[in-house]
Structure formats: structure tokens, C-alpha cells
Structure 1
Amino acid sequence: MTQHIHYETAPQDRIPFIHKVIYGFGAFVNNLLAAAIGGMVIVLNLGLGMNPALVGLLAALPRLTDAITDPIMGYISDHTRSRWGRRRPYIFVGAIVVAIVFVLLWQLPAGKSESYYFWYFLIGSFVFYLAYTMYATPWVALGYELTPDYHERTRLMGVQNFMGQFAYMVAPWFLFIMQYEAWFDNMVEGAAGLSIAIAVVVLAIGILPAIFLVERFKDAESNEAGSGSKLPRRKIILENIKDFLKGFATTLKFTPFLKLCAATFLVFNGFILIASFQSYVIIYYVFGGDTVEGAKFVGYSGTLGTICTFLVIMFVTWISTKIGKRHTFFLATGISVLGYGLKWFCYNPDLPWLLLLPAPLMAFGLGGLFTLMPSMIADIVDYDELQTHERREGMYGSIFWWVVKLGMAAALAAGGFLLNTTGFDVALGANQTEDAIFLMRLYDVLVPVICSLIAIWVISTYEITEEKAHVIREQLEARRGTT
């Protein structure tokens, strides 16, 4: 192992803590909207009686457009030139638009047909996700450029990841709130009222990054084909399309970036793929089919994991400034592998409380992943600029998070098929076969362990160390004539 070279963060490269918090508000808004629309969609089934299959389609179909809209929004943001910058206008307007659309989405009129509700919500969801992309993609890109420092980027992403976790603490209460009889007459009315409250929060704090944060590259030069030209409008449009496709292809061919995407896909979706298995193993193996007691311990484990994620983010942020991002990824992912492995021994019918032991260790997986990866992508953007003379924060951010969303959708779908291969039969209740129980336990452990170990191998070949990032920065600043 080569000796690690450490560079201290210069005072001028530090982001004031209050600015980190303001950027973190964007993470809270981002996660709150994602959790809200995913958790509240159950109203269509329980409150309006819609077929669950149609509800599933409504949850999945609008996300397919992200493959197109996310990179396009990234390109638009990268190539915007305005007195307010490349990102801030979209963040400001996007927060307002997405808040309004979210409220309208849940004002579901009474007494309509299932077909009416399906098309109302489907069309509304497409509009919502367009507004969501308008806000989220520039916000992600803004974070990549707030500081040029290798370690300060990790501190920033640690703060935003920490703040974003709070959304997942409040989201599980949404179903309770919508059914709370003291406030609402029914669940549909509850969804309409809750959407207003969520929109107020989104609007109030979502615009703050646009108001208070300063872009470093708002006047950045680009090789935009039509910039400053007097070409006919049709040719300008064609040139921009060609430029978008070229930038998209360049991003997808950039090997260091593909390694980050692959590692993220493996760690995140290795977890998502077996997310439901943990509940099945706890209920049907540890508690012998007792769904009430099993669900209680599923809740205990989930709550403990969420609390520990906050601590993991702080630890990962700190240790990364000492040993670098790549080695921290090895450490955090390795600890999560240990946690997944311990499930084989700690999920014990004779000692049920032992099942809480792996939860803090498994929290290192996702807690470390979404602290380190955004920081590493910021380094990727610099490396790409050194080679291409263009900055593509928006394009890199949009493609990275689209890979995450695509993988999550695929993993959630594949998880059901994987469960079927175990031979699990809900009709058997507590009388599942020994083979089914064994395979559920095996998948619950091996799938995330294998995926995480492959991810460690992928990142072992990742080339941007702290020393290399420092050299890239020096070369860029010399070329720009800045310090």
C-alpha cells in the first residue's frame, strides 16, 4: 500500500457551517418528496379502492421518464448563463413549482371512477417528477462546485446526508397522520391536508440554497455549439441536441465515473434486493410466524439502524479526512459486510434480542456510501474538466442518481422473484418449509455480502487519490488563472 499523502484544507476553501446546513436543507426536501409520494400512494388503494396492480403502475411508470428528463435537466443547468448563475434559478423556481404541483396531485375529488383516478394521478405524477427534476438536479450539481477542496467536499456531503436522514424519520408517520380522526374525516382528506403541510415545508426551506449559496462557476465557459453564434434557430437547436448527446456519451465513457456508479449500484441494490427478506426471516424464522411480535422487532431493528446512520455519517466524514475517500469506502463497506454476515448467527429464535446487534454495523453500508460518493463525483467533475475543458456537474449528478433510481426499481421488482425461488408460500403461514426458511436466510446474508465485496474490488481500481485530486486542482487553477 502506498503512503497516504494528506493536504490540509485552506481557510478560503472551507464552506461556512451555516452554508453546509442550507445546502443540507435541499437534501431534506429531496428525500421528503421522494418518501412522501412513495408512502402516500397507498391512499389510492386503501382510501379509494384502486386495484393494487394499478397503484404499482402509477408508482413505476413516471420514474421511467427520469432516464430522459434527468440528463436533459443536467445539460440545461450546465449550459445556462444568467446573472443568477447556472443552478440557483432552477432551484428557486423548482422549489415553488414542485410544492404547488404536489398539493394539486393529492386534491382527489370524491365519487370518481377508478379510471379517472388512475389518469388524474398518472398525468399529475409526470408533471410532479418534471418539477422534482427541475429542483433536484441543479441542487445536486451545485454541491459539486461549492468548494474545490478534496476533504471539504466530504464534510459538505456528510452534513447534507445527515440532514437528509431526518426525512426518513418523519415519513413513516405519514400513514398515521392521514388516518388521524381528530384531524381528518377520511384518508383521502388526510392526504390532501398532509400534502399542504409538506408543500409549505418544501417551499420554505427548498428555496434557501438558491438564496444564500454562491456558485463558483456561474460564468463558466463551455463549448456550447450555439453560444454567441448567429445561426438560424433550427440549426441552434440541432447543434444543442448534438452537444447534449456528445456530453452524455462522454460522461458514460468516463471510466472513473462508471466505477463509482457500479459500486453504488452494487452496495445500494444489494441492500434493496433483500430488504424485505429481513422482515420475512425475523417473522418466520426468529419468531416462528408470529407476525405481530416479528413486526415489532423489525421496527426495533429499523429504528436502531436509522439512529446509527446519523453516527455513521459523522464517523465516515471524519475518518475520510484522515485516510482518504477510497480507504474509507473500504472500511465502511467492510464493516457493513461484517454486519450482514452476523445476521446468520444473531437472527436466533432462542435469543431474539441478538438480532439488533447487526443493525449498527449494516448502517455503515448506505451511511458511508451516500456520504462518500457525492464527494468523489465532485472530484470526477474536476478530472473531466481537465481533459475536456468543460464542466458537467449537472450531467454527472443526473446520470449517477438515475442509476440509483433505476437500480432501486429493478431491485424491488427482482426481490419478489427472488423470494419466489425460496419456495415461500404465504398461505402456509407459520408452517413454511425448512428449505424455504434456509434459502431466505441464505439470500438475506449472501446477496449483500457478495455485492459489497465486488464493490470493494471495483473501487480498489479507482484512480483519484487525494494526491491526484490535488494535482488536478493545481493544473485546473493554473489553466484558469485562478488560485
Structure 2
Amino acid sequence: MKPVAVTTTRRLSMGQKIAYGSGSLTNNLLPAALAIFMFFLVTGFGMDPFLAGLLGGIPRFFDALTDPIMGYISDNTRTGWGRRRPYIFVGAIVTGILFILLWQMSPENGQTFNFWYFLVMSLLYITGNTIFSTPFIGLGYEMSDDYNERTRLMGITNTIGQIAWMIVPWFWALISNPDYIFATQVEGVRKLSIVVAALCIVTGIMPALFCKEPPLPADIKERPGITAAGIWNVGTDVFRNLGQVFGNGPFLRLCVATFLVYNGFQMVASFSNYIIVYYMFDGDYSLANNWLTWEWVPTLFRSASACFATVNALITAFMVIPVVTWMAGKWGKKQAFIISTLISIVGYVLKWWGFSPENPWLMFLPLPLMSFGMGGLFTLMMSMTADVCDLDELRNGLPRKESQFGAIYWWMVKMGQSLALVLGGAILKWVAFDQNAAVQTTETLTQLRLADIIVPASSAFVAIFVMIGYNLTEEKMKEIKAALKVKR
């Protein structure tokens, strides 16, 4: 085999980091908006709740099939524009257009027609999103081969991605209240989908236009690329590569730890809203949605729940992620994960005193600590997955599998989130939460508050033990890179 040129990218320009991070805004805003809009699929478009649940679940199983295939295609593509950028550019545009079309329904079309329309469009949208997101994630893993620069890149990326979570909480009030901009919920969803898609197209193409890919490895250049005649080889190669991915011990630890931290949080993510409304404001939605009574604050921005979510995102973006990035450079990525996860556990415990009917302002008390859980998780895990790709190349050779590792990692996150939503509903039923009652019993609220603390704290604690055995330290990565230079 011909020798492969080794390129070392120690530091990326801030422009490169911001351009890549812009794609993260697309990658976060689309699913965040989709989650909000799905609620109005029932209340606005009149979809049966069971059918709406199917429409939320079926595309995820389809997503599980397409992600690894797209990862393989991207990893093995050869073009004059690189392995990732053409897919990112086309995928961002296609995804945005399909997101708009997904919501251009009418209740008058009938439930059966809308069900099949939404299902077909969802599958097309998922395909477009896969074409964008899988190569996008792979690009981030290969933009730098420096141990600490990878963390800095992912820190900037996740900071920009948090903007989506500052915006989306206000969609709820904007769509549901006819006194604001939109006369009906259907009109609100239709028009907001256009705004969301337009923003996502603009930010989604930025990595394709302004980010640099490393040169194609020599073994990729010598291959015929992805062809229709070789589709059988694509299938067999995908399964062989999946075996190598799942055989990577450090990567499996990252997956399990992420599953525990992220889905422990997601399982009770909606509980804060219930606790704010039913415990802090005694079931009075009007009072909860008009909590900030200052006259200079517009009515739209007075919601206690939306304020809580937005402040959480602001703290994560501008305080937690920079601190976690610094800790990773100072003490290593594994140590930064363990420290940030322990801090988040303290924050979860403080929620018991923070959610106070006597002083609603105390609900912000746990946020700076809680935010270390999510803020540290993806900043560090995405950086560590890039390290795992180096280990895989040392063990299994070229081509590198950045997109396939990314596809498996995020597939696990998506499937875990589906499971978390189901288990979250089961917990609500177990604590006897009655959605039709204006006032919940004291026992129900106590159990709900305990679950809101115990579930994420205990899963985060187990994740720490999973990561104790993770061994890709900075010193180990230097050894791997030295061995790769010899092997190449």
C-alpha cells in the first residue's frame, strides 16, 4: 500500500470552529422544534394520541437503519470536495425543505390522510437529516488530531448548539396563545416551521462552505468509491465494520455512560414543568405563565417554565461548557467527566429546596450545578469519540470510520431517548399523576419531586463507575499517534 500523508492540525482558527458549530445549531434546532410541534399534532391537527405516538416512534426505527449505512457511505466516498462536505451541503437544504413540507397539513384532510402523509414525510425527512447529520458529525471528529483541540472544538460547537434550547421553550407560548401572533395552533406550526427550516438551511451549509477536510487517505483514492454495482459489498462492509465498532471497549464505555447520564436526565426532563405548575403554583397555569409581573417584560416572556429552560441553556453555554473545556485540558477528559457529573448530582439534590412555593426564584439555585451534567456530557464524549477513531485505525487500519462511530453513538442516544420517554410516562403513572386534575395530591407531588431527583442522580452515579475504566488518556493518545505514524 502507498504511504499515507500524515497531517497534524494542532489548532483550528476561531472561524473554522464557529463554522462547524453553526451546523450544530441545525442539528439541535430541528429535533428541539420537532418535539414541541409534535404536541400540537394532537391539539391542533386533531391526531389521535396513540397514532401520534406511532408517528413519533416509527421514524426512529427507520433512523436506526439509515444512520450506519450513511456513515459507511460518507467514510468511503471520494470527491474533489471531500468525503463529508457535499453531503452536508445537500443534506441541510433537503432537510429544511422536508421539515417545512412535514407540517403543511390541514385538519380538514382527515385523520387517516394526515397520518399517512405525516408518516411518509417523516421517513423522507429522517433520510434527509441523516444525509446531513451523519457526515457532519464525522467531519467534527477529523477536523483536528490534537487531543485538547478536539475538546475546544466540541466546546464551541455545543455552545452554539445551546442557542436552539434558548429559543425553543418560547415556541410553546407563541403557538398556544391566540392573543400573540398566530390565530390558531395550526397556523403557528405551519409558519414557524418555515422560519425554523430557513434558519437551519443557512446554518447547516456553513460547515460545507467554510470547514476544511483533511486530505483523502491514499487507500480511499485508489478505491472505486460507492457504486451501484458494489451495493452488495456496501452491505457486507457495513456489518463487518459494525462488529469492529462494537468491539471497541473504550467506545462502548462512552455509549453506556452517555445512555445513563442523558437518558436519566431525559426520563424526568418534563417533570420540572409539572412541579413548577402543580407544586410551586398550585396547578394555576395562568399564574405560572405570568410569573414575571414586571411591566417592562412582554407577556410572552413571563412563563416560569420557559424562563427555567432558557436560563438553563444560557448557563450551560456560557459558564459550564467553558469550565468543562478548561478542566479537560487541565486534568484530562475522563477526570473532567467524573468531576462534572458529580457536580450535576449535587445540583439534582438541591432541586428539593430549589423548587419552593414560598420563593419561586430559588428554582434557579440548582441550575449552575445541574447544567454540568448535560454541558459536560456531549462536549467531552464527542471529543473522546474522536480519540476512539484513532484507536480503531491503529487496530483495524484504513479507512477511518468517523461517521460510522458517530452514527452508532447518536443512534444509541436516539433510541435511548425513545425508551426514556416511555419510562418517564410510566413514572408519572406510578406516582398517580392525574393530568385531568387541577390539583395533585400531596403524596403524588412528593413522589414526583423525589423521582425528579433520584432518577438522574442515580443514573449519573452509575455512569461514573462505567467511565472509571476508560483508558484513553492524553499520554495513551500520544502513544497511539506515534504508532499510527509508524504504521502509515
User: What CA distance in whole angstroms lies between the structure 1 residues aligned with 2:36 and 2:198?
Assistant: 18
Offset from partner CA, 1:29-68 (integer Å, 9 cap, x none): 1111112222223343333222232222222221111111
Shift of 1:160: 0.6
Offset from partner CA, 1:340-364 (integer Å, 9 cap, x none): 1122333344444333211111011
* Residue aligning to 1:324: 332
* Residue aligning to 2:354: 346
Shift of 1:206: 1.5
Matched residue SS, 1:430: coil
Say whether 1:441 aligns with 2:455.
no
User: What CA distance in whole angstroms lies between the structure 2 residues aligned with 1:302 and 1:184?
Assistant: 23
User: What CA distance in whole angstroms lies between the structure 1 residues aligned with 2:183 and 2:282?
Assistant: 38
Candidates 450, 459, 475, aligned match of 2:458: 450
The residue type paired with residue 418 of structure 2 is A
| TM-score, structure 2 as length reference | 0.89
Candidates 421, 428, 437, aligned match of 2:430: 421
Shift of 1:393: 0.3
1:56–1:356: structure 2 CA closer, same or farther, 3 Å change rule?
same
User: What CA distance in whole angstroms lies between the structure 2 residues aligned with 1:441 and 1:196?
Assistant: 38
Shift of 1:290: 4.0
* Residue aligning to 1:472: 480
Shift of 1:185: 5.1
User: What CA distance in whole angstroms lies between the structure 2 residues aligned with 1:363 and 1:272?
Assistant: 13
1:12–1:395: structure 2 CA closer, same or farther, 3 Å change rule?
closer
Candidates 347, 350, 367, aligned match of 2:375: 367
User: What CA distance in whole angstroms lies between the structure 1 residues aligned with 2:204 and 2:379?
Assistant: 20
CA contact (8 A) 1:85 1:219 kept: no
User: What CA distance in whole angstroms lies between the structure 1 residues aligned with 2:106 and 2:372?
Assistant: 44
CA contact (8 A) 2:264 2:456 kept: yes
Shift of 1:203: 2.3
1:342–1:472: structure 2 CA closer, same or farther, 3 Å change rule?
same
User: What CA distance in whole angstroms lies between the structure 1 residues aligned with 2:330 and 2:370?
Assistant: 22
Say whether 1:397 aligns with 2:391.
no
CA contact (8 A) 2:174 2:180 kept: no
Candidates 112, 118, 123, aligned match of 1:121: 118
Within 5 A, what are the aligned runs for 1:15-414?
15-109=12-106, 111-178=108-175, 186-219=184-217, 221=219, 227-228=223-224, 236-294=230-288, 296=291, 297-310=304-317, 311-390=319-398, 391-414=400-423
Shift of 1:248: 0.9
Greater shift, 40-49 or 241-250, is seen at 40-49
User: What CA distance in whole angstroms lies between the structure 1 residues aligned with 2:384 and 2:272?
Assistant: 31
CA contact (8 A) 2:25 2:162 kept: yes
User: What CA distance in whole angstroms lies between the structure 2 residues aligned with 1:437 and 1:96?
Assistant: 45
User: What CA distance in whole angstroms lies between the structure 1 residues aligned with 2:369 and 2:250?
Assistant: 28
Shift of 1:418: 1.3
User: What CA distance in whole angstroms lies between the structure 2 residues aligned with 1:187 and 1:453?
Assistant: 41
Shift of 1:84: 1.4
Matched residue SS, 1:441: helix
Unaligned runs of 5+ in 1: 1-9
Offset from partner CA, 1:244-274 (integer Å, 9 cap, x none): 1010111112111010001101111111111
Shift of 1:444: 1.5
Matched residue SS, 2:186: helix
| TM-score, structure 1 as length reference | 0.90
* Residue aligning to 1:3: none
CA contact (8 A) 1:25 1:160 kept: yes
Shift of 1:233: 7.0
User: What CA distance in whole angstroms lies between the structure 2 residues aligned with 1:72 and 1:107?
Assistant: 29
Shift of 1:429: 3.8
User: What CA distance in whole angstroms lies between the structure 1 residues aligned with 2:154 and 2:9?
Assistant: 18
Matched residue SS, 1:50: coil
CA contact (8 A) 1:222 1:389 kept: no
* Residue aligning to 2:301: none
Greater shift, 77-86 or 211-220, is seen at 211-220
User: What CA distance in whole angstroms lies between the structure 1 residues aligned with 2:182 and 2:436?
Assistant: 36
Matched residue SS, 1:42: helix
Greater shift, 436-445 or 465-474, is seen at 436-445
Matched residue SS, 2:47: coil
The residue type paired with residue 128 of structure 2 is A
CA contact (8 A) 1:87 1:138 kept: yes
Shift of 1:467: 0.6
The residue type paired with residue 23 of structure 2 is G
1:217–1:270: structure 2 CA closer, same or farther, 3 Å change rule?
farther
Candidates 10, 13, 27, aligned match of 1:13: 10
Count residues in correspondence. Answer: 465
User: What CA distance in whole angstroms lies between the structure 1 residues aligned with 2:184 and 2:453?
Assistant: 41
1:233–1:361: structure 2 CA closer, same or farther, 3 Å change rule?
closer
Matched residue SS, 1:41: helix
* Residue aligning to 2:297: none
User: What CA distance in whole angstroms lies between the structure 1 residues aligned with 2:237 and 2:372?
Assistant: 40
User: What CA distance in whole angstroms lies between the structure 2 residues aligned with 1:184 and 1:353?
Assistant: 31
1:477–1:42: structure 2 CA closer, same or farther, 3 Å change rule?
same
1:302–1:100: structure 2 CA closer, same or farther, 3 Å change rule?
closer
Matched residue SS, 1:65: helix
Report percent identity of matched pairs.
44
Shift of 1:440: 1.8
CA contact (8 A) 2:91 2:132 kept: yes
Shift of 1:17: 0.3
Greater shift, 372-381 or 165-174, is seen at 165-174
User: What CA distance in whole angstroms lies between the structure 1 residues aligned with 2:44 and 2:284?
Assistant: 28
Shift of 1:240: 2.5
Greater shift, 379-388 or 176-185, is seen at 176-185
The residue type paired with residue 130 of structure 2 is T
* Residue aligning to 1:7: none
* Residue aligning to 1:5: none
Offset from partner CA, 1:440-473 (integer Å, 9 cap, x none): 2221211111111111111111010011111111
